[in-house]
Chain A
Amino acid sequence: MSDVEFLMWVRGPGLVMAFAIFVFGLILRLIEVYSLGHKPDLAPAREVTPGSPWRTMFTRSAPADGLLKKAPVLYIGGYIFHLGLFITFFLFIPHIEFLRNAIGIGWPGLPTPVVDFVAVITLLTLVLTLTVRIADPVKRFLSNADDYVGWTLTFLPVLTGWMAYHHFMLPYTWMLAIHIFTVMLLLIALPFGKLGHFFTLFISRWYNGNNFARKGVAS
């Protein structure tokens, strides 16, 4: 398969297939999680605290007292690479063009050198968080294959995208095709492992916030 044929496959049937698996997994997991249900709460709800579930969705993003000092790399690094992923994916103009073609809406982007810089910071931060994960015996003990696969599938699209832009190692056509291919892999894996937190995170926070509010522990 030549570079052009590979690129046409990943832009076309490959991406459609990956997206279909992503949608399949997303619906499957949502129904599965939702249908687990919970025991009926027989106690009457405490005083209503309006907006508690919504607030919890965001307040839980702030580190609990003392934890920032205890795990600075985890928190600061976590913020940086999540923000970096958001910027590189949603504010790089060719990506916006990609999404505009896929979903029909677009928005203004950032100048390429800014996204380039953010991509480098994101990559470095991802490497740093992985290093800490491996170096720290507790974190290493708590990690399993899911964590490392998730890390790799997050790292590769940023790396290959950055390499494609800079024409590193391979000609642009090859690297662009490989970049889209790594995105395909990420799409396929997203709903099934720990990476699924991209959509379960806010649902579970809302759920927790709502539960706590019923019990009078408003966030």
Chain B
Amino acid sequence: MKDDSVLAYLKARGISRRGFLKFCAATTSMMALPPTMTAAVAQALATAQRPSVIWLSFQECTGCTESLTRSHSPSIERLIFDAISLDYHHTLMAASGEAAERARHEAMEKFHGRYLLLVDGSVPVKDGGVYSTIAGMTNLEMLKETAAGAAAIINIGTCAAYGGIPEARPNPTGAVPVSAIVKDKPIINVPGCPPIPVAITGVVAHYLTFGTVPELDSRQRPTAFYGDTIHDRCYRRPFYDRGLFAESFDDEGARKGWCLFKLGCRGPTTHNACATTKWNQGTSFPIQSGHGCIGCSEPHFWDTGSFYKAISVPTGPFAPAATAAAAAGAVAGGAMMLRNRHAKEKAVEAKQPVSPDDLEK
């Protein structure tokens, strides 16, 4: 009988048992599970049957898929991802047109209630959702139809999780996140533009291992990857604490690797694991490359003002309002002056002379 387990799939692709266990240990650690769970994770992953996954791409740029699949060399994360039975992904699948849609329907029927639904991209709802269609079907209809039989939904990227760039002002297509439409399924948000590959596979691995969704925060993000801010884990944090900041991208501070807060770094308000897992197999992350974090894994990140101004500074402008207020203050002050003078005059008029005899009365 054909062994359809994840481990068998990985073995066939040259992944050694040592490499597999290393991945399991790293996953266990990153999911903030006790080290003793590594064996359980390895056991579960090795024997897990390849789950059916339907990946829907709506208003997106395919960057999330690229993030996962275009790593410089095939990573074990990517192979784990390959090990799932990806039954529908219109960028990656060979089938097209009606055959592709048939594959989606077949998977939905065959694995009803058991398949994982991965979504990247936001859903346009304005004007009946006509702004994005696949096979003549609006994204809105396709999401509702596919979500109905899903065991859980994993939103890959900021667009699916929060609306992302399509939802940025003025939001011409009425873009909304998946959670605005699907209310009755477990939803896991893996935001980022794009998300870190290991955050995606970590969530999938957790689901394969335990059959449950990992611990989530109030924004439905796995706390293992989104529990801390970039600022908390940033290697430049000591410079922030010491008050040493780069003032421009080519000054002495920038060359010495000082904190990029003044140059607009969104690290303090951004929850993600970039500073710890980094990108391109742990090579670097934006701050290490000399640019501030732009907060791409947070809601409304495109509408939070200039990326090159600190997150706490005012966005103004103050001058017009202050000028008008000063003019209004002068008028009100003048009115108060007249009122006070009038009260004074009245008091003088009302003044009655008092003689010592009156006081004796």
Of the 9-residue stretches B51-59, B194-202, B261-269, B281-289, which lies at the interface with chain A?
B261-269
Partner of B326, one of A17, A27, A111: A27
Chain A residues touching B, range: 35 or more
| CB atoms of B333 and A172 under 8 A apart | no
Q: Are A25 and B329 in contact (CB under 8 A)?
A: yes
Tell whether, in the assembled complex, residue B317 and residue A16 are in contact, meaning their CB atoms are under 8 Å apart. yes
Instruction: Please report the number of residue pairs spanning A and B whose Cβ atoms sit closer than 8 angstroms.
Output: 132
* Size class of the contact patch on chain B: 35 or more
Query: Closest B-chain residue to A111, C-beta based?
Result: B243
Least CB distance, A2 to chain B, in whole angstroms:
6
User: Chain A residues with Cβ under 8 A from B241's Cβ?
Assistant: 111-113
B312–A35 contact, CB under 8 A? no
B321 near A19 with CB under 8 A, answer: yes
Q: Is the CB of B242 closer than 8 A to any CB of chain A?
A: yes
Give complex CA distance A3, B353 in Å.
65
Which residues in chain B, 207-263, are within 8 Å of chain A measured between CB atoms?
229, 231-232, 240-243, 245, 261-262
Using CB atoms and an 8 Å cutoff, list the residues of chain A in contact with chain B: 2, 4-5, 7-8, 11-12, 15-17, 19-32, 35-36, 93-94, 97-98, 100-102, 109-113, 167, 171-173, 176, 180
Do B243 and A23 touch (CB < 8 A)?
no
Q: How many Å lie between the Cα of A143 and that of B39 in the bound state?
A: 67
Q: A20 CA to B318 CA in the complex, in Å?
A: 8
7 closest cross-chain pairs (CB), A and B: A31-B333, A27-B329, A35-B337, A20-B325, A101-B313, A24-B329, A24-B325
Within 8 A of A (CB), among B306-325: 309-318, 321-322, 324-325
B329: nearest chain-A partner, CB-CB: A27
CA–CA, A97 and B298, complex, Å: 23
Q: Do B312 and A94 touch across chains, with their CB atoms under 8 A apart?
A: yes
Q: What residues of B have a CB within 8 angstroms of the CB of A15 in the complex?
A: 314, 316
* B340 interface residue (CB < 8 Å to A): yes
Q: Give the nearest-CB partner of B245 in chain A.
A: A93
Residues of B within 8 Å of A22, CB to CB, are 325
